[in-house]
Amino acid sequence: MDILSKVRTIPDFPKPGIMFKDITSLLADPEAFAAVIAGMEERYGGRGLTKVVGVESRGFLFGAVLAHSLGLGFVPIRKAGKLPAKTRRRSYSLEYGEATIEVHEDALGPGDRVVLVDDLLATGGTARAAAELVKELGAEVDEIWFLIELGFLPGRKALEGFRVHSEAVVESE
């Protein structure tokens, strides 16, 4: 299946010059959504994973379904201030400022092996921060999965040292 044909591009959202990749059209197509999840199940089943970690917010959509399908627990990584128990946090740079994400301290530990799930790889800052949080808790990142990668941006470079898989790559805008 051609994933990119199922994803809308919205010009100038959320700000001028951005070509936003809107995955809601893929999610609304039951066959396309099922095909993505089936591919994830095939890729990650039998790899000895103990948890699936999803990055807020669109990583939750794919990660939680994958966790359910594989019979694993799901761990959310959220924006700062959204998790109720004791957390670990990591700040990182964005093109337009800084952001912070958090994970519950007791969500992962030594012996956990995870796939980290998010919808889009652009500059890699969010994914790098999330992977570092997972490692800080003593867990191993088996791979970082993205639905879409913006191949013309330096996201993969920011994730050196981690195995990365993208279902579809946009080579230019």
**Residue 65 CA from chain centroid, whole number:** 13
Cis peptide before 14 (omega within 30 of 0): yes
Residue whose structure tokens are 């990749």: 21
Question: Which member of 58, 78, 88, 90 is catalytic?
Answer: 58
Whether 58 is a known active-site residue: answer yes
Whether 95 is a known active-site residue: answer yes
Q: How far is CA 138 from CA 64, 108, 165, in A?
A: 21, 7, 22
Residue whose structure tokens are 């010059």: 17
Question: Which member of 8, 95, 163, 173 is catalytic?
Answer: 95
Residues known to be catalytic = 58, 95
